[in-house]
Structure 1
Amino acid sequence: MIASHLSELHCSYQHIILSPHLDDAALSCGGSIAAAVAAGEPVLVVTICTAAPPIDAEFSPLAQHFHAEWGLPPTAVMQTRLAEERVALAILGADGLWVGALDAIYRLPQVYHSRETLFGMPDPSDPLAATLRELCNHLRSRFPHATIYAPLGVGNHVDHQLACHAAAQLPGPVMWYEDLPYAVRAGELERRLAQLDWPLRPLVRAIDERMTARLAAIAAYASQLAELSHSQLGHAATAAEAGEVINAAVRDYAHRVAPPGALYGERFWVRTTTGAIC
């Protein structure tokens, strides 16, 4: 099931994944989600930026570039992407909660108007920070024993950074996942860990039996494959090429981080101290 409000959820979830955008959870930890569900441990994917851009919005050149890359007019962006998410979550077996916040390029178009600003420091006036603090507090209150997973913020997308820091203020079990496709780039993970300078230790999970489900869930986000592959190739790709590029990048990275004896893995980061770390 997919809900638009916490009150609609009636399951006792053991794992809650904070996904800034429609595709982040599948890309970064889809194997672990599928594995938890297969083990009888309910998973909730909380996707934050799910609001459609205003009809009368003036889109920045960056937003227009994304629309062209996705092959979608602004009026169809969210409808298409939400439909993709339904398919992806069904493949993984997870429930969903759509928070209804605006993506950065729609939320503050005058601020996040270029790749440099979108992948820079979050603006101090960004309303998503308060939204995420409230959301995380409600999630922890409603599901006190659940492990909450948040993006580490590799690549420095502002929405990922804000989610990363909101989760860090929570008590109870919290883990951070490595943001793909950004973590694939050489040195990006190390730069982010140095930037945070938090007391964290790695934890790797084998996902050999769930790699197929992870790749299938990623493929469900068909509108995003061109942009995702662009980040790997540095240029636009055909639909077929885009899928191959993403599959190869995800497989290669999962193989690199796999625990001993496993073919594929997903790596998370766990705080070594109790309580908030920022």
Structure 2
Amino acid sequence: MSLIYALRDRYPHLGFDDRPLVASCDDGWLGIMHAFLHDADKAMVPGGTFTLQQVREKMGGLQMHYEIADIAPAARRAIDDAHRQASARSFHVCEICGRRGRLNNFSGLWKVVCTEHADGKLGKGVPFVGPFDVQDSYSPEADPFVAARPTAAEFDAAPIIDGWLVEEQGECGSRPWLYGWFFGKPDIGDGEHGHTSPIVQMDDMVPPRWVRTDNWLYRLGIHYLPAEREIRYWAQKLRRRPLAYGEPPGGSNGIEAMLIFLRSTGRLKSMKIDRMEQAYREEEQDQEISRGG
């Protein structure tokens, strides 16, 4: 499944067992596993071996099996503590979408889901009240990882950012922010381009569907690779009107048409347009290679 490949890509130097069905849970827990592996990665310095053997759902919660060798006892305790925290978090995060959730009973099947997924393919879930609601002294509201994750209702009410781009060096501080075209945000006109306040937490699903900043929760719309987005940004900007919701930035799905438009305006230097076009061609070539073409 996509989940295990995402883990391998981000942590290539941590060992993964290649047996089939190494991951038997849904992708909504990807963020929990990223956080666990990040902590495991830190604990492994300066050496030793860590092999993730199995990721699964058991009794509604996340369970991971791993082997550790040649590390100090304190590092082993840190990894085991991180695993316990990951398991506790899983009882409050929807296994399907990664939003806030709780344990539900689907005719004998226990699964942690948000309110949206509590009534779907599995039938209608019944919130489960029992020992699995309490994980030692763990409090989800005191855990920023869980507390920042939106509920289904928050997500549905959130404004949208289309054509978004992460700016790693934000002028508001060292934390990154997002640029994009906004829809449904009270202080910005629909279709206007702007940026968010610094990012607090971003969805780990691929592609991500939400981001929480210092001031707002946003739904994330369509995303473009950097070179294509720059062409679309300038084409939209020189059209001198807000972006209409559902319309592709730049007014076209064809890059060639936008490049012709940019050259026709005379507002940008030819060298700048040439640079954007070259970057786009290289971006497309890289994508073709990654697709195996």
Hey, which of these two has a bigger chunk of strand by percent?
2
Hey, which of these two has a bigger chunk of helix by percent?
1
TM beyond 0.5 = no
> Structure 1 length as normaliser, TM-score?
0.22
> Structure 2 length as normaliser, TM-score?
0.21
Bigger relative CO (Cα 8 Å, ≥ 6 apart): 1
State which structure, 1 or 2, has the greater radius of gyration over its C-alpha atoms.
2
